[in-house]
Structure 1
Amino acid sequence: MNNDHDYGDDNGSHPALTDAPARKALGQHFLFDPSILKRAANAAGPLKGKTVIEVGPGPGGLTRAILNEEPALLIAVETDPRFSEALMSWPEAKNGRLQVIARDARKVHWEKVLQEAGAATPVMIIANLPYNVGTPLLIDWLKAGDWRGPMALMFQREVAERICAQPDTDAYGRLAVISQAVTRPRIAFTLPPGAFRPPPKVDSAVVEFEPLPPGERFEHLALLEQIAGAAFGQRRKMLRAALKPFAKKRGMKAEAWLEDCGIKPTARAETLTQAEFRKLATSLA
């Protein structure tokens, strides 16, 4: 999702580009309410003096709201040339406070960008994400190193609920296991379709991701993702059946592996806690 507001600003920057139509192929829905934009900008904490990454700035509504909070540097990544070119003309882009990268965010080498910009880390990530790239980007950022700090990201409400879900709930799955292995996610606030232009067909929600303390973060995230993906890929099956193909590829028997980790082979994925998923991954690390 992108965002948009149609008011000028008090810092002399160009107003948002409100007359550019959304492109369905890019998952664009423009957010225009100034109070919502300010709330989204501050959802992950104070921005003053920080380095901030924004993906999908679109017409620049959230971009302006972020800049108003006085970050040291805002790096905005936008694949739509209508918006990236407009943002490059803003005074902040010329004085160095705003860096615009005109490319697909999924192809950005974040550490290289931050190094070349001389950015202070950890950086904050604030984005009104396009629906079609939100989850892949989140997974990449969760796997990132110490350069990634707090995040405030907008998703479809259903996705947001899956990120924050607890065991023994319908929404609990791979996304919750991975997200909660390195962060403490919570839904900051929700928005109805009418808040956007054009309105999407579903509610949206901003999720705040607070990084876990270093000693609590799980380091084998890629392995954890594979195990959770296999377990929830057949969530109606008992774990001994759901994990059988995964275990077989590694020359193991799923039932024995589960028992060695103190997990009942007859359990189902949605009943496993974060600690139990971590135990399975640690046993293979």
Structure 2
Amino acid sequence: MDPLAQYDTVIVGGGPAGLTAALALTRYRHRALVAESPAPPRNRASRGVHGMIGLEGATPAQVRARAWAELDGYGLAERRDVTVEDVTRAEGGGFHVSLGDGATAWSRTVLLTTGVIDVHPAGVEGFAECWGRTVIHCPFCLGWENAERTWGLVADDPEHAAMAAAGFGAWSADVIAIAAPGMARAAETRRTLRAAGSDLVEGEIVRLHHRDGDLHTVEMSDGTLVERQTLLWSPPQRQVPLVTRLTRSLGLALDDGFVAVGTDQQTSVPGLYAAGDLTTRWEQGAVNAAGAGATAADALHFAHGR
């Protein structure tokens, strides 16, 4: 690649948001570079994408392969399996995008679709093996696959714990809350849950007993065993290193840890856009990300004055 190669837009990340944006921009006849990290994707544990019409159950790899077959048919989007190390303002406008292989590209605009990093709990044996199968972060994503099983909602506040009583009845008739010791209003929450046919178990989870990722028992630090087949557990999330750097170097604004964007997906930095999970905690998922990518592509097209 020419170290001074020029693009209309560099898209950082090749998931649903980035690839949807690439397709829309291609059809707008923009030249785009999609830089996708060679590291395993965040959704690598998923056995299928759900909720995307025409792609129900397809694996993340199959979705990417199909997307690139479609993009390659147009010939305007370039794919590079490389990390983006930095994004800086260029003299005269636009951005310089520094790639992990030492090359630099110039683009009029940049779209961040990096996703986020799930911070898995330290010291919980079996978590990684169950993650994305029977330890799920989103009932809308994997509730169907875990229906008619016994669930545990891992909670850190009483309002969240109280959702175990009625919030997930579409998938399970047996949902309890599991909270670390010391949660505020724990006794009150337990009474409320028990009155609704649920319960609250307090304890520090140290081990998930499973068979090839199929959970059957949760073990607490005091040795207590709780029979559960599915855990609804949403771990904390953090931004990828590039986004963190841009908050310092470009003044990229965050809102409660997520990239702040307007209705057009533009960030606080003019010409820098973001779409997908890095912008929201509660509307994550392939369909939502794809929709945000399409919105960003429309805005980018009109920003370019074409």
TM bucket by the smaller chain?
under 0.3
| TM-score normalized by the length of structure 1 | 0.27
Compare the two structures and name the one with the higher strand fraction. Answer: 2
Q: Which has the higher helix share?
A: 1
Task: Give the structure with higher Rg (CA).
Answer: 2
